[in-house]
Amino acid sequence: MQTAVLGGGCFWCLDAVFRRLRGVNNLTCGYAGGSRPDPSYEYVCSGVSGHAEVVRIEYDPAAISYAQLLEIFFACHDPTTIDRQGHDIGSQYRSIIFCQDEEQKSMARQTIENLTAAAVWSAPIVTELSDNQPFYPAEGYHQDYFARHPAKPYCAAVIAPKVMHLRQQFADVLAG
């Protein structure tokens, strides 16, 4: 197993997308990048903690590669906005990759360079690349939120379209 830690806005969105991929054996919503150990959701949402909402993905690299995870990550959020995704505003919603080692950092850097050269977005990519930081699991009610609350307005309006996009663009890597 290998681990990827990614932040791209509300962790409920990334959770709903990455849980559907083959080779993802465990996924946990949580917080990384701040200074206080074991922060609460309320503290992270205050915007002063320095933490980002992230998902920790434990995956089998024989089933899905880190490069594929990065491709999906960049396709399912807007990496050109600083401290926001849509209506979610604050540093906890920043686009960030917590690289677990130098190989991940190099691959993330190369992915950003390739996307920039391809002019996928009209604005520059602002995704932060960080060294590995302590990860703190979020409260239980955040885990697998979309599956448990698909009819909630946020889920229907924001998360469901991301899941639909995943099914359309990345059908080849979906779990059976």
Q: Which amino acid makes up residue 71? A: E
- Reduced to 3 states (helix: H, G, I; strand: E, B; else coil), residue 47 is coil
In sequence order, what DSSP letters do the residues of 94-110 get, joined into one string? -EEEEESSHHHHHHHHH
**Residues 10, 13, 29, 76: which is the catalytic one?**
10
10 is catalytic: yes
CA distances from 60 to 23, 25, 69, 107, 156 (A): 5, 7, 11, 17, 30
The residues that are catalytic are 10
